[in-house]
Chains A and B, each alone.
Chain A
Amino acid sequence: MPYSRKPTRAEIRRERLQEAINFPLDWLEERSGLVGGIRYFLFRKVPADTNWMQTLGSAALTAFLVQAITGVILAMYYKPDPKDAYSSIQNITDHLTMGWMVRGMHKWGASVFIILMFLHMGRVFLFGAYKYPRELNWIIGVLILVMGMMEGFTGYLLPWDQTAYWASVVGINLNGTAPFLGPWLAQFLRSGQEIGADTLSRFYSLHMLLIPGGIISLIGLHLYLVIRLGVTSPPWSREAAGMVPADEEPVPLRPGLTRPVPRTIAAAQGDAGGSE
């Protein structure tokens, strides 16, 4: 550091502190590029006029994280066996400290997750955000929605009470009515002729290993594409929508007027203003 005078002791201390803080970050960055990646993620530009409707995707992600965390805690106490499943659910609900809260959050978080996915999908449809070049991300999103509903179906059996049992009996039989694959699918879900211990552990495995694994991978891809392609601006915005070429300044309008302005009118206003 080119000091014009001898650095004071405080300045030397600050500099050493900075080096100490930066060292692990530099170490990590040199070996993984992660620091740069996170910096890119945080400071990437998004359209200036994104609005509250565009928080629904991250809200759905939050609901999924709630499901993941509460699910891990429930798995520590739940016993996927017809003999013990019901009593372990009773134990979680009635006796474990905060057990009712963890189970309640998992049960109702599922509904909130599904609702938020539907709302997010509605927003994407309204904004036409599934159009070029984001077609692939729409498909991934639909697959996440379907897998989320599969989580709902497989999770519903686990408490092993009457509601759970009979809804699953009918649900599995309905799968069986599909042509060609139906009987095979019903057999696979039931894991035998009758709904029993094997069905329960199969549903448990699907519910907490296979489907969540799939959802997490798809969410990763979904976010990768969002970051790569950028956040869509509202379709009615003038800014950053690609509707006004970047080298033209957007035409200032009366405040509150948010519709895009046809180029010809914009040009006419520019003439009338005579500001150029």
Chain B
Amino acid sequence: MAVVPQPQHEKPSRVEEARAGFARYKADVKKRGKPFYPYAMFHDTVMSLIVVTVILGLAAIWKWTSYGPHHDGTHQGLLGPEYTAPADPGTTSFVPRPDWYFYFLFYLLRIFKWPESVFLGTVGVPTIALILLLLLPFMDTRLERRPSHRPVAMVAMALTIVSMAVLTWKGATANEALASEVIANVPNWVKQEKLPPQALPGAKLFATAGCTACHTYLGTGSSNLGAPDLTAIGTRNLGITFQVNHLKCPSCVNPGSPMPKFASLGDTRLHQLAVFLEASKGPQH
């Protein structure tokens, strides 16, 4: 039997409906709209003035609360210092912290802290989120725009806002170990791990050089970016040479490692660190 093409004018296709809707919108705006100037432009101007005022206010608060007793801008203030100490690749007792709008990414890294899954936190989840965001208009092609008729979109929006807010908040309040607190634990490490005296300088260096920003040692520090616990790193007998080379350039020894290079600490201090790491055989009884 021959297939007879059926006339298709009962129901317009989605594309036809969209085009007709947009033509109605254009005609409607032309007929009953208001000119941009002065109506919409008035609102825009008021809002812009508020924006500039808020920016000026933040600048002023930053200035007047961070101007410290030493007559410079390193005082903490309400909105943080105007600048911290000059960059010094040699001393790494500094906890790296991004600007606040990267906190959600920053905290995502702490969720995926197992070495095998770091990749998910650094690249996987953000890339997928970005692709979903870019493709949104092609995933949601319904013409309905009323929020009350778009339950899935509204739930997705609420979940996104809540998760971004939680991640930002957690990132902001993440408890970073302070060098001054970590160094207080060194005697305890010596006792528990029965560290030999020659490992002591390395232990102090380990506590102050920012290692505990990513690594943990006998429960001190916070694991970040997949950095392993170093309590018993010495049991792997990697050797002093390996430890020094790894500290100098982690990604050369261990490709893909996100750990910064510590070559700038100098050979003497790197050797001390290596001795400490090799002496760390876990709690001894």
Contacts and interface: CB of A to CB of B under 8 A. Distances in A.
The judgment on whether A and B are partners is yes
A90 B261 contact: no
Contacts of A133: 18, 22
Interface in B249-285: 251, 256, 258-261, 263-264
Contacts of B29: 45-47, 230, 233, 240
Contact of B256 (A177, A230, A231): A177
Contact of A240 (B33, B56, B88, B94): B33
A132 B48 contact: no
Q: Is the interface of B mostly helix, strand, loop or mixed?
A: helix
Given A167-B98, A240-B33, A246-B31, A104 B22 contact: no
Nearest to A160: B87
A110 B59 CA distance: 11
Interface stretch (A16-24, A51-59, A204-212, A268-276): A51-59
Interface in B95-129: 95-102, 109, 118-119, 122-123
B69 interface: no
B150 A174 contact: no
B159 interface: no
Nearest to B33: A45
A142 to B, nearest CB: 5
Given A59-B47, A135-B138, A100 B33 contact: no
B97 to A, nearest CB: 6
Given A89-B83, A239-B32, A177 B63 contact: no
A80 interface: no
B51 A104 contact: no
Contacts of B22: 132-133, 242
Contact of A231 (B40, B79, B161, B260): B40
A161 B59 CA distance: 19
B34 A46 contact: yes
Nearest to A66: B55
A170 B260 contact: yes
Contacts of B37: 42-43
Contacts of B24: 242-243, 245-246
Q: Is the interface of A mostly helix, strand, loop or mixed?
A: helix
Contacts, number: 274
Contacts of B258: 170, 173-174, 176-177
Nearest to A137: B137
Interface stretch (A6-14, A27-35, A145-153, A213-221): A145-153
Chain B, interface size: which category?
A: 35 or more
A241 B146 CA distance: 11
B143 to A, nearest CB: 6
Interface in B25-59: 25-37, 39-41, 43-44, 46-48, 50-52, 54-56, 58-59
A241 B28 contact: yes
Given A101-B59, A132-B22, A171 B98 contact: yes
B28 A239 contact: yes
A162 B94 contact: yes
Nearest to A143: B134
Given A58-B47, A241-B28, A45 B35 contact: yes
Nearest to B20: A242
B55 A109 contact: yes
B25 A241 contact: yes
Contacts of B94: 162-163, 165-166
Contacts of A104: 58-60, 62-63, 82
A163 B84 contact: yes
A111 B101 contact: yes
Interface of B: 18, 21-37, 39-41, 43-44, 46-48, 50-52, 54-56, 58-60, 62-63, 72-73, 79, 82-89, 92, 94-102, 109, 118-119, 122-123, 130, 133-134, 136-138, 140-147, 150, 153, 157, 161, 210, 225, 251, 256, 258-261, 263-264
Given A58-B47, A242-B22, A242-B24, 9 more contacts: A55-B47, A86-B87, A115-B101, A122-B161, A152-B102, A161-B85, A162-B85, A167-B98, A246-B24
4 A-B pairs with least C-beta separation:
A104-B59, A45-B33, A128-B145, A242-B25
8 contacts: A90-B73, A108-B79, A125-B157, A128-B150, A131-B137, A173-B251, A173-B260, A183-B251
